[in-house]
């Protein structure tokens, strides 16, 4: 055969290499370097972290290409960037900039309330959010090469991320327990393609890497998500909205690797200063809940 780029294997394989790692939101080159020095496996370049998007309101869009390029020039680790749900032109722009992964993200204001991006059309891989298994499989069917549980971004409240991880993994366990002739109805109920449902039922896991995101603010939060079966962690506002970003970032990296060693997590949690203030998800009015974006 001849050399082929953008195959399913290189897209999904890229996410395999990020496993056991922390991906951090950064808004400038200086933060990107702090994240890299702290041991981040990748950075997510965006203009405002979710907590600020939430506070300032308005329409949130793809970041300025200049800002993304400055971050690409500053670090040697992969650089990801966000496109609005369904905004395939933003995704084309990000691909032309050579970003390593595109997050089709509910944190930005959706561009299409019916359709997501046809991700098979791209050479660059995509990560998409999901709150349950059906949503994860619909995204994979559209070409997503990595899934993250959504959580509720910009809150510092880990409860939704927890709920989404339990939901996704609970539904996977349930599928594995079904008879083969029951998978047709399961696919109907999940609103997901039968072939993917069957694959998940047989493998007992998603066919792509599953990270977690939304509301993770402490080393213990990161370790909690890993023990719920996440392959790795996205931390958005939790680091650079805290008192001591460099130290907190390094602490979250340690806790993600040693998620099952409470002594390491305890040491990593010492003297970190103030965590981000946070908002209880329950206090958020329904229209301000980002996790509900995605169809």
Partner 1 sequence: MKVGVLALQGDVREHMAALTACGINPVEVRRPSELASVDALILPGGESTTIAQLSEIFGLFQPIRDRISAGMPVYGSCAGMILLADSILDAKDGQKTFGGLDITVRRNAFGRQVDSFENDIVFKDGSDDLVHAVFIRAPWVERIGSEIQVLAAVDSHPVAVRSESLFATSFHPELTGDHRIHRYFIDEVARPALEKVK
Contacts with partner 1 by CB under 8 A lie at 1-7, 9-10, 13-14, 16-21, 36-37, 39-42, 75-78, 95, 98-101, 123-125, 250, 253-254, 257-258
CB of 230 to partner 1, least distance (A): 14
What amino acid positions are annotated as catalytic residues? Answer: 82
H/E run at residue 162: helix 159-176
- Half-sphere exposure of 155 toward its Cβ, with a 13 Å CA cutoff? 25
DSSP state at residue 180: G
Which residue's CB is nearer to partner 1, number 36 or number 104? 36
Q: How far is CA 57 from the centre of its chain?
A: 21
> Of 145, 54, 143, which is closest to residue 107 (Cα–Cα)?
54
Closest CB 152 distance from partner 1, rounded Å: 27
- Token pair of 201, please? 């039922």
Nearer to partner 1, 234 or 281 (CB): 234
Asked if residues 70 and 28 have their Cβ atoms less than 8 Å apart, the reply is yes
242 versus 256: smaller Cβ distance to partner 1: 256
Contact between 232 and 169 under an 8 Å Cβ cutoff? The reply is no
Q: Which residue, 154 or 232, is less far from partner 1 as judged by CB?
A: 232
Cβ–Cβ < 8 Å for 49, 290: no
Which helix (H) or strand (E) is 80 found in, with range?
A: strand 79-84
Minimum Å gap between C-beta 216 and partner 1 is 17
Q: How far is the CB of 24 from partner 1 (least distance, A)?
A: 12
């Amino acid at each position: 055969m001849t050399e082929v780029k953008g195959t399913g294997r290189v897209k999904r394989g890229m996410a395999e290499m990020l496993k056991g790692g922390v991906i951090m939101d950064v808004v400038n080159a200086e933060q990107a370097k702090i994240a890299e020095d702290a041991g981040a496996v990748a950075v997510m370049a965006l203009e405002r972290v979710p907590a600020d998007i939430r506070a300032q309101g308005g329409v949130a869009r793809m970041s300025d290409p200049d800002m993304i390029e400055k971050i690409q020039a500053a670090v040697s680790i992969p650089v990801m960037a966000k496109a609005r749900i369904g905004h395939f032109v933003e995704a084309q722009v990000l691909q032309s900039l050579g970003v390593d992964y595109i997050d089709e993200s509910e944190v930005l204001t959706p561009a299409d309330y019916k359709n997501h991006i046809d991700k098979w059309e791209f050479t660059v891989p995509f990560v998409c959010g999901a709150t349950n298994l059906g949503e994860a499989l619909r995204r994979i069917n559209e070409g997503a090469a990595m899934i993250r549980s959504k959580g509720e971004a910009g809150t510092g409240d880990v409860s939704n991320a927890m709920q989404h991880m339990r939901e996704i993994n609970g539904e996977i366990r349930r599928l594995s327990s079904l008879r083969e002739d029951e998978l047709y109805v399961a696919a109907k109920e999940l609103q997901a393609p039968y072939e993917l449902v069957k694959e998940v039922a047989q493998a007992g896991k998603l066919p792509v890497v599953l990270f977690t995101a939304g509301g993770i603010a402490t080393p213990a939060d990161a370790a909690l998500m890993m023990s719920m079966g996440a392959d790795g962690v996205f931390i958005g506002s939790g680091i650079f909205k805290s008192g001591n970003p460099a130290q907190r970032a390094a602490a979250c990296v340690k806790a993600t690797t040693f998620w099952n060693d409470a002594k390491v997590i305890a040491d990593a949690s010492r003297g970190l200063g103030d965590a981000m203030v946070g908002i209880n998800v329950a206090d958020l009015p329904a229209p301000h809940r980002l996790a509900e974006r995605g169809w």
